[in-house]
Chains A and B, each alone.
Chain A
């Protein structure tokens, strides 16, 4: 009985390792679709899902952060830089790393548009608590500056300036 249990455990472990490896490889790997189909429901449920494309295939080539601008009912405006990490102190930016992940890597993406409304609602709530004034509207703003890649001769062009664009505006009902 113990031998059977051991063999079963070894079989399960081996199956996990094979599926984890194959599903972690790039999409071009031939067996990946089959492995994904087999493993996805179980991995997704149990928390064994994984992806290891860290700074890959190429690292992100834009410096990005997200800010919010609150317009209060009295007409005043306050800008809150949600994830401008290099403006924070060393300890602050280490503790607030989740903010970078949330805002810079996820919130600002068009694919995550459904997140914007609740993000704006939450920002408005925080602004009202901090300043004691009713918020009339919230803008979520992307800021970006492209990185430069050396050419084949090693020449590095000048970096462009920062750009910004409002990607969501929320008017709050009172």
Chain B
């Protein structure tokens, strides 16, 4: 009976749906780190990857063989091919970070990243290995289900709700979590064979290797006894992570312990992006409520400061297209600076002085913090300024000519809402009707 229950627990662990938010945030971080890593490669692209560089293709084949996945095998390694694949790589990383076409982006990222890695293995460090493995697992993950433009698009299409309810298959996430455990277990196993680590002298030796130096290390941290403490701390943390991270009582403690270790390494050692890459995986060990708690810590003071700029937004509640747009805006309104009101409600004239009823049926209306009624483009601009994702872009709306242009564009969209709704219906979106939208909010 015990083996059976163990297998059942394992199966549940690997297959029971989970909240997608940790994966969504991880995807954003990972995409960003991959982008940064790629930007560091830009000045030396031809040196490392083209046939005019330090490792022409015949030499590569002689050294590592010909049996590795790489696009360069098919298209060659001329400078133009290298730059083209690099451009695809950058685009894939950017799209993955934004969560737009997440699945396709993750496939493209894995293929291009692995191709670059297999094109020149002599410039790779362990952070690259982790990146490559993670990019493989992401191919099988529904990483666009949260914190992504894909989710915003699904909300607009009616395939998702403002309040997240979706759960995702956990297999890819579990693979990433367990891969991290393998990393720490394996490195501990290797270190345990080394007398310098056991004696506590390993950090003392590493401190003398000036080629790794980054920021200055205080003299007392370079002492023999500090070295022993740090060496044994490293061994203990790496040995225990794979086990203690799975218990609620010790999970956060282990993550903090490893963060401290990696923060120290990031300060003292010049290994490009290794610490951020490995620490980004820690996000997958956090729960949705923990992530929301951290987000709230950041948002709360900002929200209370921005409270003075609160606006009331009145939309046409009989317009399915409008309600879809509002659903997207609601999702983006992270600082809760707007109150969303159906402009068709009959009691609004009682609640709001001079409520512009007729205007509200034709365009978006807001009542701003100064008590002014704004409509159309000006209302949209006020809304956009309060959405962190687009607020910088919204500043363009204050430049000369933009209000005129914006008003014309807004009017066209407002006048053609039925046609726009039909277009999205034909494109596979759900029908934009008010009856259909009952469950949106």
Binding site for B on A (CB under 8 A): 6, 9-10, 13-14, 16-17, 20-21, 24-26, 28-29, 41, 44-65, 83-86, 90, 93-95, 97-102, 104-107, 112, 114-115, 118-119, 122, 147-150, 154, 156, 159
Bound-complex Cα distance A87 to B78 (A)? 33
The answer to whether B126 and A47 have CB atoms under 8 Å apart is no
Most chain A CB inside 10 Å of its own CB: which residue of B132, B191, B215: B191
Given contacts A10-B14, A118-B54, contact A101 B125 (CB under 8 A): yes
The answer to whether A58 and B196 have CB atoms under 8 Å apart is yes
Within 8 A of A (CB), among B192-232: 193-197, 201-202, 204-206, 208-215, 224-225, 227
With an 8 Å Cβ cutoff, the count of chain B residues facing the other chain is: 71
Bound-complex Cα distance A84 to B210 (A)? 9
- Show 8 A/B contacts (Cβ-Cβ < 8 Å), sorted by A: A10-B14, A26-B189, A45-B67, A57-B193, A58-B202, A99-B44, A114-B62, A148-B208
Q: Of the candidates B124, B133, B194, B208, which one forms a contact with A63 in the assembled complex, judged by CB atoms under 8 Å apart?
A: B208
The answer to whether B55 and A118 have CB atoms under 8 Å apart is yes
Bound-complex Cα distance A107 to B11 (A)? 46
Q: Which residues from A are CB-within-8-Å of B270?
A: 85, 93-94, 97, 100
Select from chain B the residue with minimum beta-carbon distance to A23: B186
The answer to whether A47 and B193 have CB atoms under 8 Å apart is no
Q: How many A-B Cβ pairs are below 8 Å?
A: 191
Q: Which residues from B are CB-within-8-Å of A106?
A: 122
Q: Of the candidates B132, B133, B171, B186, which one forms a contact with A9 in the assembled complex, judged by CB atoms under 8 Å apart?
A: B171
| Minimum C-beta distance from A148 to chain B (A) | 7
| Minimum C-beta distance from A171 to chain B (A) | 19
Bound-complex Cα distance A17 to B179 (A)? 7
The answer to whether A102 and B14 have CB atoms under 8 Å apart is no
Is B256 part of the contact surface with A, judged by Cβ < 8 Å? no
Q: Which residues from A are CB-within-8-Å of B296?
A: none
The answer to whether B40 and A20 have CB atoms under 8 Å apart is no
Given contacts A21-B186, A98-B272, contact A58 B206 (CB under 8 A): no
Binding site for A on B (CB under 8 A): 11, 14-15, 40-41, 43-44, 47-48, 52-56, 59, 62-63, 65, 67-69, 110, 114, 117-118, 122-126, 129, 132-133, 136, 171, 174-175, 178-179, 182-183, 185-187, 189-191, 193-197, 201-202, 204-206, 208-215, 224-225, 227, 270-272
The answer to whether A56 and B211 have CB atoms under 8 Å apart is no
| Minimum C-beta distance from A162 to chain B (A) | 11
Given contacts A100-B211, A149-B196, contact A115 B204 (CB under 8 A): no
Given contacts A10-B14, A147-B205, contact A102 B54 (CB under 8 A): yes
Select from chain A the residue with minimum beta-carbon distance to B130: A50
The answer to whether A10 and B182 have CB atoms under 8 Å apart is no
| Minimum C-beta distance from B243 to chain A (A) | 13
